[in-house]
Amino acid sequence: MIPVIDLEPFLAGEPRAFTATAAELGRALQDVGFFVVVNHGIAQALIDRAFAEARRFHAQPMDAKLALRMNEHNNGYMMLGRYAVWTSDVNANDKPDLNEAFFVKRERGPDDPLARAGRRFAGPNRWPESLPGFRETVLAYTDAVDTLGRKLLPLCATALDLPPDTFDGAFAESQFSFRLTHYPPVAAELNQFGIAPHTDANFMTFLAQSEVPGLQVRMPDGAWVDVPYVPGSFAVNSGDMMHRWTNHRFKSTAHRALPPVGRPRYAIPYFMGPHLDTVIACLPTCQGPGNPPRYAPITYAEYLDWWYDANYNAARQRDVA
């Protein structure tokens, strides 16, 4: 069963709510790796506007979308059928996914230190010029979800028996990726999906839920189950960085999306990761005698370099038939 966590008592600062919510979150991350949050404090009107921008972007003519084709920073437009998580150890993914998407990273000005250094994944976003208000809405939405994610960090740390501020420095400037995805109602071949079975590369993913079904999670017993639709909620899952940082104490749970039937599905997942230069090394409370660190330390940037080159490879977006 996928837990539903009510954040209202915690966000309101009610007595004992912090400890109780941290325990709930810790059990969810340890047992399932997926949970649903309600009463999260993000206005439904902003969520609705973000979904509307996803629909508006993908309704553009193909020429307009191709003018913003994905670059080496993984910013911009990705065509249908040009991607799958080829590195997945969950499934033998041998066919491209049936979705198109537009990607945004943290907005950085020309004086930003990472941008000035020419760092990968810190390059400029690509914005459509013909969609007034698109950029403003997307940035307002990513700011709101980033703020929510950072509010949950002390809960994650407490659940790991660490000081509440353990993760604060690493996420003071998170390295996020925001994806506006369109799943058309098209027929899939054998072993083909809207998004094939995979785990996420980042720390934690926030997906505003919509009424069109599709997202499924692989439970600990191996069964695939639909994520319960709770209006106004976010489905949240941990990713490979949390799994690695916690030495497998917290899961990075496999999930997939089935192609929709009869109508399109839009999804707006927010993938939250730490600063690019954060060293991901086994946390002290997640190792001990008989439980040594499973991984050598690695920076988040090094992990992203490997993961994106293996799975996205912007060169695939340049060849238009």
The predicted structure's pLDDT at residue 317: 54
Residue 39 zone, left/alpha/beta (φ > 0; ψ -120 to 50; rest): left
More confident residue, 189 or 57: 57
Q: What pTM value is reported for the model?
A: 0.95
Which residue in the block uniquely carries the two structure tokens 């040009």?
82
Which of 41, 245, 243, 265 has the alpha carbon at shortest distance from 146?
41
Q: What is the pLDDT of residues 117-139, one digit of tens each?
A: 999 999 899 999 999 999 999 99
Q: How far is CA 192 from the centre of its chain?
A: 21
Give the range of the structural domain holding residue 228, as residue numbers without chain letter.
4-317
Number of folded domains that form the chain: 1
- pLDDT at 231 > cutoff 90: yes
Taking residues 34-63, report their average pLDDT: 98
DSSP code, position 38: E
Q: What is the CATH number of the domain that holds 50?
A: 2.60.120.330
With a cut of 70, say whether residue 305 has pLDDT above it. Answer: yes
What is the reported pLDDT for 319? 54
Whether the predicted pLDDT of 321 surpasses 50: no
- Among 16-30, 67-81, 89-103, 181-195, the range scoring the smallest mean pLDDT is 89-103
